[in-house]
Amino acid sequence: MNEMTKITTLKDWETDQEVRWCPGCGDYAILKAVQRTMPELGVRPEDTLFISGIGCSSRFPYYMETYGFHTIHGRAPAVATGAKLANPDLDVWIITGDGDALSIGGNHTMHLLRRNLDCQIMLFNNEIYGLTKGQYSPTSRVGTTTPSTPYGSVDRPASPCAFALGAGARFIARGIDIHKDLTNVLKAAHAHKGAAFIEIFQNCIVYNKDVFEEFAAKKTAASTQLLLGNGEPMLFEKGAKGITLNRDTLELEVVDVVDGDWQAAGVIVHDVTNKSVAHMLIDMPFGEFPMAIGVLYDDPRPTFEAAVVEQNAKASEGKKPDLQSLLNKGQTWTVTEDGPEL
């Protein structure tokens, strides 16, 4: 199927199920973004499989008019691996959250990324356990006060994108639930052959309201977000500032851009295949730097299921799947009415 061939409309991707998220939840915006994106991918609902774990985000498959599997806590990547190996033609999307993917299912997330199963992983990061009523999560910042941490959390948070990069992911992107650019991130993820990891900052209106507001708020976005485009200079603040590499410290720095001359300011051009820069973009401390949004890293390599299919085919070459001869393999002897003989 050609990319961009519209064979469906948004309506084709909506189920008749009543959506059960809290009013104002960021999940609604993500659901709409996905349903809006699907027709543009030129894919068919019957070839599409949404697989989720447990948590608020994991109800997602029930609202997509595709094949869907709401599995158990943390195990969606493992279920997805089996489904994709069983039928590599399926277009597999994994819907997960910060607790699901990084706490109880951290092991599976790591192995799916290292194996490079062709799928899209959408990690809805709201830095909280919503469905269990607001305990701190592995991405909650130090000092997060919740029912299980009444005096504030003391453990340091995990960085989803750094985790993904460390695990060997070849596509890493960030998006914001209500951001209109989320669609483009989804399209890029889908176009990437292999495991495409997307961290989506998702606002939990009830238990962690506006935790991303400092960079997600629309009115300050120009100065708080670095919107990445492959081959484009890393500019923000309407082009007045940019990101450069300090060649002495080998660290990123914010520089002022005068009269739009970003080259003179030494602003870096984003190359999605540069892993070292991707690492630095992921690690940029917010405040001193803007938050990097968009495709951080995209450098495909052969996928797991393709390698499995290839090896299975090669190992089967010239062999007949004859059950009787399989059973008769090895040293056998025959017993006749007169007794045994070799």
Contact yes or no for 198/121 (Cβ under 8 A): yes
Angle between helices 275-283 and 160-167 (to 10 degrees): 160
CB of 116 to another protein, least distance (A): 14
CB of 64 to another protein, least distance (A): 8
Residue 61 or 175 having the CB closest to another protein: 61
CB of 286 to another protein, least distance (A): 32
Residue 112 or 172 having the CB closest to another protein: 112
Q: Residue 196 contacts by C-beta under 8 Å, 6 or more apart in sequence?
A: 119, 120, 121, 171, 173, 188, 189, 190
Residue 86 or 250 having the CB closest to another protein: 86
Residue 71 or 202 having the CB closest to another protein: 71
Residue 249 or 331 having the CB closest to another protein: 331
Contact yes or no for 68/53 (Cβ under 8 A): no
Cα 285 from Cα 159, distance rounded (Å): 11
Residue 42 or 45 having the CB closest to another protein: 45
Contact yes or no for 49/93 (Cβ under 8 A): yes
Cα 193 from Cα 71, distance rounded (Å): 24
Residues in the site for another protein, rule: CB under 8 A?
15, 17, 44-47, 49, 51, 61-62, 64-72, 75, 77-87, 89-90, 107-108, 110-111, 308, 311-312, 315-316, 319-321, 323-324, 326-337, 339-340, 342
Radius of gyration of the chain (CA): 24
CB of 164 to another protein, least distance (A): 16
DSSP of 103-148: IITHHHHHHHHHHT-SEEEEEEE-SEETTTTSEE-TTPPTT--BTT
